Chains A and B, each alone.
Chain A
Amino acid sequence: MFSLISKWPLVRQIREQKDGTGLESMSDKTRAMHARIDDAQVARSICPYCGVGCGQLIYHKDGKLISIEGDPESPISQGNLCPKGAASYQLLTHSRRELKVKYRAPRATQWTEMSLDRAMDMVAERVWESRKRTFITQENGSTINHTTAICHLGGATLDNEENYLIKKLFTGGLGMVCVSNQARI
């Protein structure tokens, strides 16, 4: 009881002869306040938006993102971000992000959910069949070994390594020539 009363800021205020605007009015929560990234782990990353390439520090704890901030050591951005970069935490956590594979059958009016494995199998099957149907080995007497009936259009937020694999598989493996990218749009 006494301790409860002694926690009453009014009592504290009178005892310390304060006007109630300072530290005496702070609640326990305020006193214990600290930045939520204090005990987080950090991954060093790069902003996914424009081509400036700002450094980002991605704070995470127990497999969950906590916050994304600029990396002060980046020689380009020196800890700063633009509004898009500053919103990249929301980019990864917002509620409209899709988390499930969705499939739409021919003439269907709705999506149906599908397992990742099954969808991959089906896509592989479609690629396989289309390629078989449309692959051209010779044209006008020269070997061309390509298909023009499967195309690819990639964004420019793909990693170099991803682009490398895409080009290697699609062009080097499948013989697709209709391969394009945001860089040419």
Chain B
Amino acid sequence: MTTEQRLEQLREQAWDKGIVAGRGVDVTGGPIPRRSGYYGQPVVKPPVWTWEIPIYFFIGGLAGMSAVIAFAGLVFHEIDLARTAMWLATIGAGLSPVLLTIDLGRPRLFLNMLRVFKYKSPMSVGAWIVFAFGACVIPGLIALELGTRYSFGGGTDQFLKIFAHLLVIGSAFWGVLLATYTGVLLGVTAIPAWFLHRVLLPIHFGSAGLGSATALLELLGHRVAPLSALGFLAAAIETALWIWLEIDKHGAADRALHRGLPGWLIRGSEFLSGPLALILRLTNLVPLAAIAFLLGAFISRFGWIEAGKVCGRDPEAVFASQG
């Protein structure tokens, strides 16, 4: 039935009875707004970031911490481990800018990231860290590969080795910052669920990065004791962070972390990379523990971004955080 026919019916019904029955539904917000703030409108803006950013957080953390392991491997003559770790770091260093660029509103202006250096902007510092990390890791890997194969012989190899060592030290330096700065990036914002946990976030992202690097290296066949120890450590820290997060609640301000989709994502991821990984390691199911940890670390980043979105849309969270 067309709207016009329906209207015609209504008209006749009206002429006969005066009143036409129908269904009514409440207007949002009216008569007087009962929702907090201005008709429940968000006070701050939720992040516009999409899937690229949590994946970048995961890959960046993994790559950064891989560079640290590579550095330790080099120092303690675990050359194979160091090489694999450097490969991971390099792949990560290559993927990170790609992911970041895809997420930009105007990818063609990516280079503007290096237009200025603003120490008060974690994004600017981060861009320079990613740049510096890439600048160390990629030549570092090349030097390492060439140097360890003794392709040139003699002095050149020696030079390459030293060069590789220096670059791997640099990689480790930038890598560890790459893995942790992302926590600062989220912590230094106006989103209550993030800034209220600005101390926890770098620790979490750091340990998740370290654990992920360890787990992936283990899955790639490097079943050595130091990695196992690091795996235990990371899982233990994640368990501790979970407990911290459960205790350090801020009511409405960070309820996005505990409720709904982001709540379950964070809780689930912490379970995977915390207690579950720990138990699996204790029961010597190392590959399973590694997978659990990787999965947890991966999901966790989505959880945190999602929490930011939910929290950003919630005016009460902002008011509560400023109460």
Contacts and interface: CB of A to CB of B under 8 A. Distances in A.
Direct contact of A and B (CB under 8 A): yes
Interface of A: 8-10, 13, 19-21, 24-25
A19 B115 contact: no
Contacts of B117: 10, 13, 20
Contacts, number: 20
The majority secondary structure among interface residues of chain B is loop
In the complex, the 4 A-B pairs of residues with the closest C-beta atoms, listed nearest first:
A20-B116, A20-B118, A9-B116, A9-B115
Q: Size range of the interface on B?
A: under 10
B220 interface: no
Contacts of B120: 19
Interface of B: 114-120, 124
Contacts of A20: 116-118, 124
A10 B115 contact: yes
Nearest to A21: B118
A10 B114 contact: yes
Contacts of A25: 115-116
B123 to A, nearest CB: 12
A13 B118 CA distance: 10
Given A8-B115, A19-B120, 10 more contacts: A9-B116, A10-B114, A10-B115, A10-B117, A13-B117, A19-B119, A20-B117, A20-B118, A20-B124, A25-B115
Nearest to A19: B118
Contacts of A13: 116-117
A130 B118 CA distance: 79
Contacts of A24: 116
A13 B124 CA distance: 14
A149 to B, nearest CB: 31
B185 to A, nearest CB: 17
A22 to B, nearest CB: 10
Report which residue of B114, B116, B124 has the largest number of chain A beta carbons within 10 angstroms of its beta carbon: B116
A9 B114 CA distance: 9
Contacts of B118: 19-21
A152 to B, nearest CB: 30
